[in-house]
Amino acid sequence: MPYKLLEVDKKIPQRKNHVYVKHCSDPEDEIPDCNTKTVPGSMSERGCAFAGVKGVITGAIKDVIHVVHSPIGCTSYGYGTKRYPTTPDMPNGEKFPIDNFNLKYILGTDLQESDVVFGGMKKLKKSIIEAHKEFPEATAIYTYSTCTTGLIGDDLDAVAKETSEELGIEVVAFNAPGFCGPSQSKGHHVGNLTLFENLVGTKEPLETTPYDVNLIGEYNIDGDLWIIKDYLEEMGINLLSKFTGDCSHDEICWMHRAKLSLVRCQRSATYIADLIEEKYGVPYIKVDFFSTKYCAENLRTIGKYFGLEEEAEKVIESRMEKVAPEIEFYKSKLQGKRVFIFSGGPKSYHLSKPLEEELGMETVAVASQFEHKDGYEKMKSRVKEGTLIVDDPNSLEFEEIIQVYKPDLILAGVKEKYLAHKLGVPCLLIHSYENGPYMGFEGFVNLAKDMYRNIYSPVWSMLEFEEEPSVGENAEVHEDSSEKQETKPENTGELA
């Protein structure tokens, strides 16, 4: 059976369907159960829909101000969490007056008990007016519902419409309260739909060229987007709109005028590419710029589409000349190292093969917080027989996977990093990076370098518990649990 019940999941047997070991003779649609509700009390690493829309989709936009309609928590935690830098450059050639405006400010309605009882719409309206007064430079105001305001039924769309007319500035409402959907993925979807319905097609670009593209689902983590932008511009391709890394509000409004959409993060943003294709006939292709091979392949595809094949070759050649010797070096160092990739979604399939083919590593396990069926199919197709594929792993499973699969390196997020450290395994931040960017040719070298530095640091050899007996599939997962059970009588039967 390809589905695997981990030791720690014995008491939650429904987790078995989320853990799959690739078996090549299985039918193709044999993949982990995914995009379903999280089991309560299972210690999931997932976030909420609000985090999906504000933290991923809209947080990267350089010239809007965000008003979170919530008690203090969501506003506080939605502030300064992600690293997506922006330039002050606006499409009309002017400069936005505040650097990295998207990282610097967040507004919230700081709801009090009386607002929960009597409704918070008045307060939201006043806050939006205030946002405009305090930040007159912002091109638009985005406002977000959260668990509480979703529950008390505040009508954000009505407030947005009213304030928009009053202030003469666009006010867009995002209705993704934290409780909707199984994970942050729902928020990505709401973000796509809201931006499409409210903005796309409402403005015209200042100028167009025959080589205009939308780069969709690229959020400029640590400067990823700027690398790809350079390549495309060298080829003669114009980034008409970005969605949403280093982008301005207006760019989204004229996405319908591009000749082609390129979809980078296919989990969080294929929605809008589909909608634009359907309504405006702009075709899209799914692209992958991680690693030299995928990057070259995809630049060639784009070149071919626009008849710019030679230009694409030039870009590839000039970059490969620079990075090839470095990649050779890192390959010699990373050869045979076992890696476990636990990303939010697509990076698990973007990176699994390149790490093996270009750096000689071995991908022993892949996992994702919120990937859907199509993503898991791709993930499965890009790993070899015997690789573990896990949907929404929790911290106990994470621990067991490390102990059983013994990776030399983990690519994951900050919540997992220090648990890995305690287990004596280096863990590189793959959501927001360490010394990125990691995309494109140069980016892949940065990634290789960071992996090398993580694995080869002498600190790991100082740890004394390296020679612990290995944990077999039937052994106790960690010694604590057996000790604990001695001091506390074990429950014999199932709890109700």
Partner 1 sequence: MEHDKKFSVVNPSKMCQPMGAVQALLGVNDTMPIIHGSQGCSTYIRFQLTRHFREPIDVASTSMSEKTVIYGGEFNLMKALKNVSEKQSPKMIAVTSSCLTETIGEDMEGIIEKFKDANFDKNLPIIVPISTPSYVESHVEGYNRTIKALVENLAESSTPNGKINIINGILSPADVKNVKQLLNDLNCPNIMLTDTSENLDAPLSEETLGLYKDGTTIEEIQDTANSLGTISISKHADSAATFLEQKYGVKSVSGPLPLGIENTDQFVNNVCELTGIEVPESVKKDRGRLLDAMVDAHSYNYHRKVAIFGDPDFVSGMTRFTSEMGMTPTVVCTGAKSNKFTEDIGLIASQKGIDPVVLAGNDLYDMHREIKDAGADILIGNSYGASIAEEEKIPLFRVGFPIFDRMGAQRISTLGYNGGTEFVDRLTNTLLDFYYDEAGYELEKSEEIIEEELFAEGEFV
Query: How near is the Cβ of 47 to partner 1 at its closest, in Å?
Result: 5
Pick between residue 116 and residue 320 the one whose CB is nearest to partner 1: 116
Pick between residue 79 and residue 305 the one whose CB is nearest to partner 1: 79
Pick between residue 113 and residue 207 the one whose CB is nearest to partner 1: 113
Query: How near is the Cβ of 309 to partner 1 at its closest, in Å?
Result: 45
Query: How near is the Cβ of 488 to partner 1 at its closest, in Å?
Result: 6
Pick between residue 24 and residue 462 the one whose CB is nearest to partner 1: 462
Query: How near is the Cβ of 188 to partner 1 at its closest, in Å?
Result: 14
Pick between residue 302 and residue 396 the one whose CB is nearest to partner 1: 396
Query: How near is the Cβ of 178 to partner 1 at its closest, in Å?
Result: 4
Query: How near is the Cβ of 458 to partner 1 at its closest, in Å?
Result: 14
Pick between residue 48 and residue 57 the one whose CB is nearest to partner 1: 48
Query: How near is the Cβ of 33 to partner 1 at its closest, in Å?
Result: 16
Three-state SS across the chain?
Answer: CCECCCHHHCCCHHHHHHEEECCCCCCCCCCCCCCCCCCCCCCECCCCHHHHHHHHHHCCCCCEEEEEECCHHHHHHCCCCCCCCCCCECCCCCECCCCCHHHHCCEECCCCHHHHHHCCHHHHHHHHHHHHHHCCCCCEEEEEECHHHHHCCCCHHHHHHHHHHHHCCEEEEECCCCCCCCCHHHHHHHHHHHHHHHCCCCCCCCCCCCCEEEEEEECCHHHHHHHHHHHHHHHCCEEEEEEECCCCHHHHHCHHHCCEEEECCHHHHHHHHHHHHHHHCCCEEECCCCCHHHHHHHHHHHHHHHCCHHHHHHHHHHHHHHHHHHHHHHHHHHCCCEEEEEECCCHHHHHHHHHHHCCCCEEEEEEECCCCHHHHHHHHHCCCCCCEEEECCEHHHHHHHHHHHCCCEEEECHHHHHHHHHCCCCEEECCCCCCCCCCHHHHHHHHHHHHHHHHHCHHHHHCHHHHCCCCCCCCCCCHHHHHHHHHCCCCCCCCC
Query: How near is the Cβ of 395 to partner 1 at its closest, in Å?
Result: 6
Pick between residue 202 and residue 481 the one whose CB is nearest to partner 1: 481
Phi-psi group of 420: left, alpha or beta (phi > 0 → left; psi -120 to 50 → alpha; rest → beta): alpha
Query: How near is the Cβ of 291 to partner 1 at its closest, in Å?
Result: 28
Pick between residue 29 and residue 465 the one whose CB is nearest to partner 1: 465
Pick between residue 209 and residue 485 the one whose CB is nearest to partner 1: 485
Burial grade of 253 (CB within 10 A; 0-12, 13-18, 19 or more) = buried
Pick between residue 11 and residue 92 the one whose CB is nearest to partner 1: 11
Query: How near is the Cβ of 135 to partner 1 at its closest, in Å?
Result: 9
